[in-house]
């Protein structure tokens, strides 16, 4: 299950690299879902289902989108409010199958601080646009997911100061 698939360039790469998984892209924006369909149509991949509407900040979605062996979420949490993040994460924890993994990618604060001037500037710009949004602290995100029964399995440094946080649900 990919949450917030966006235009679809990621899911076609993932599906090609991991052909043993059936990939389910989602996005609440119909324009993005149309873009996913266009990217998928350009491939010969058969392991990508048509993109579904999913507003991951809506309570209760897990019962319609799980259990999933892998949930991928890239570049969303800094664009939504903390209460919305809390809903996303509790539903992710519910939707993840026992033994499943959650891969969460994005920019994060560390000990409340941005890790570069570019990140600090982007965070400030987001908060100027909407004071409820902006970068989240990785410690808060990890603590929330742990409180919902997930194990923090790995933190992988990615280009441009981004992180890939990996969580697992005990089998």
Ligand X SMILES: C[S@@+](CC[C@H](N)C(=O)[O-])C[C@H]1O[C@@H](n2cnc3c(N)ncnc32)[C@H](O)[C@@H]1O
Would you tell me which residues interact with ligand X (CB under 6 A)?
3-6, 10, 27-29, 32, 54-57, 74-76, 79-80
d(CA 105, CA 126): 18
Query: What is the smallest separation between the CB atom of 87 and ligand X, expressed in angstroms?
Result: 9
* 80 vs 95, beta carbon nearer ligand X: 80
* 11 vs 109, beta carbon nearer ligand X: 11
Query: What is the smallest separation between the CB atom of 28 and ligand X, expressed in angstroms?
Result: 5
Query: What is the smallest separation between the CB atom of 80 and ligand X, expressed in angstroms?
Result: 6
* 80 vs 89, beta carbon nearer ligand X: 80
Q: Find the residue with minimal CB distance to ligand X.
A: 6
* 5 vs 115, beta carbon nearer ligand X: 5
Phi-psi region of 70 (alpha: psi -120 to 50; beta: other; left: phi over 0): beta
Element (H, E) at 3: strand 2-3
What is the spatial order of strands in the sheet that 96-106 belongs to? 2-3, 68-74, 96-106, 163-168, 151-157
Structural contact between residues 120 and 153, judged by C-beta atoms closer than 8 angstroms = no
Sign of CA dihedral 65, 130, 32, 102: negative
CA 85 → CA 47, 96, 116, 163, distances in Å?
A: 29, 16, 23, 17
* 129 vs 151, beta carbon nearer ligand X: 129
Query: What is the smallest separation between the CB atom of 171 and ligand X, expressed in angstroms?
Result: 27
Query: What is the smallest separation between the CB atom of 162 and ligand X, expressed in angstroms?
Result: 10
């Amino acid at each position: 299950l990919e949450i917030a698939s966006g235009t679809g360039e990621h899911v076609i790469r993932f599906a090609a690299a991991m052909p043993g998984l059936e990939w389910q892209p989602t996005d609440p924006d119909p324009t993005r879902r149309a873009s996913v369909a266009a990217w998928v149509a350009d491939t010969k991949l058969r392991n990508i289902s048509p993109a579904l509407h999913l507003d991951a900040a809506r309570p209760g979605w897990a019962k319609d989108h799980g259990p999933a062996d892998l949930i991928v979420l890239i570049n969303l949490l800094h664009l939504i409010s903390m209460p919305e993040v809390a809903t996303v994460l509790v539903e992710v924890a519910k939707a993840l199958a026992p033994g499943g993994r959650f891969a969460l990618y994005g920019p994060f604060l560390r000990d409340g601080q941005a890790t570069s001037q570019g990140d600090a500037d982007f965070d400030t710009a987001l908060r100027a646009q909407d004071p409820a949004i902006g970068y989240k602290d990785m410690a808060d995100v990890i603590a929330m997911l742990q409180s919902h029964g997930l194990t923090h399995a790995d933190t992988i440094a990615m280009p441009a100061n981004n992180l890939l946080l990996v969580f697992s649900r005990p089998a």
